[in-house]
């Protein structure tokens, strides 16, 4: 997704991921609070401080490995807790909380595109530091939007699907959740399924639309 990765590129990626991840997780917590559940707020998760959201394994080790293997970071932050009994609208409220994170990433990408156009930066054809940061910011936030909406537990898309799925499907999703990330990696690495290619094509399509 990000092509050849240099040391400066890695630094930019880490910085962008920390910002984007923090906004993503804070929006989960913020929407939960607005829907009547202060569980995440009481743990300080309505915050843009990355330290509130970092999980050592999933936020640090996992993206380092996937950067090497796939030239694209795959990561997960510390899960934002919520109490379904406190959330308004039941499963639909839980779906709103889940969707808030990916939609925040899409909004960040849109805002970044607008800013680059206002200041006259061509992120596709410029080679300067500013253009590189802007391109990485836009690309990674699109990637976070697309990846997190995959409807496989524990990704956000699964919670959205769960709210509208019939009960038998919900039971299957609950059983799959402990193995979700392994399933996602297996699907990405299985040539016949081409999930990685599908994700890349969706990322590219959204990037082309925005730019």
In a domain, 197, yes or no: yes
**Measured distance CA(48)–CA(70) in Å, rounded:** 28
**How do residues 105-129 score in pLDDT, each as one tens digit?**
999 999 999 999 999 888 888 888 8
In a domain, 1, yes or no: no
Q: Tell me how many domains the chain contains.
A: 1
In a domain, 183, yes or no: yes
Average pLDDT score over residue span 94-99: 96
**Measured distance CA(108)–CA(128) in Å, rounded:** 21
In a domain, 128, yes or no: yes
CA distances from 207 to 27, 37, 116, 171, 182 (A): 23, 35, 14, 36, 28
Output the pLDDT for position 172. Answer: 92
In a domain, 200, yes or no: yes
**How do residues 19-67 score in pLDDT, each as one tens digit?**
999 999 999 999 999 999 999 999 999 999 999 999 888 888 887 787 7
Check whether 1 has a pLDDT greater than 60: no
Mean pLDDT of the chain: 89
Structure-token pair, residue 59: 């936020």
In a domain, 2, yes or no: no
pTM (2 d.p.)? 0.89
Residue 25 falls in the annotated catalytic set = yes
**How do residues 126-183 score in pLDDT, each as one tens digit?**
888 889 999 999 999 999 999 999 999 889 999 999 999 999 999 999 998 889 888 9
- Say if residues 163 and 43 touch (Cβ distance below 8 Å): no
Residue 77 banded pLDDT, cuts 50, 70, 90: confident
Check whether 192 has a pLDDT greater than 80: no
Check whether 82 has a pLDDT greater than 80: yes
Percent of the chain having pLDDT more than 90? 59
Output the pLDDT for position 5. Answer: 65
Find the domain containing 170 and state its range. Answer: 7-210
């Amino acid at each position: 997704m990000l092509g050849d990765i240099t040391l400066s590129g890695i630094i930019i990626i880490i910085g962008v991921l920390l910002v984007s991840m923090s906004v993503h997780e804070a929006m989960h917590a913020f929407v939960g609070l607005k829907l009547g559940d202060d569980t995440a707020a009481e743990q300080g998760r309505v915050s843009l401080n990355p330290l509130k959201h970092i999980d050592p394994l999933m936020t640090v080790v996992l993206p380092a490995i996937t950067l090497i293997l796939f030239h694209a970071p795959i990561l997960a932050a510390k899960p934002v807790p919520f109490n379904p009994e406190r959330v308004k609208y039941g499963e639909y409220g839980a779906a709103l909380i889940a969707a808030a994170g990916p939609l925040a990433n899409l909004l960040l990408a849109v805002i970044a595109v607008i800013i680059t156009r206002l200041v006259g930066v061509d992120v596709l054809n410029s080679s300067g530091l500013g253009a590189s940061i802007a391109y990485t910011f836009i690309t990674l936030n699109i990637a976070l939007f697309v990846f997190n909406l995959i409807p496989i537990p524990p990704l956000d898309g699964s919670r959205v699907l769960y709210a509208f799925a019939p009960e038998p499907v919900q039971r299957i999703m609950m059983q799959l959740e402990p193995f979700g990330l392994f399933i996602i990696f297996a699907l990405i690495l299985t040539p016949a399924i081409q999930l990685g290619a599908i994700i890349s094509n969706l990322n590219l399509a959204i990037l082309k639309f925005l730019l």
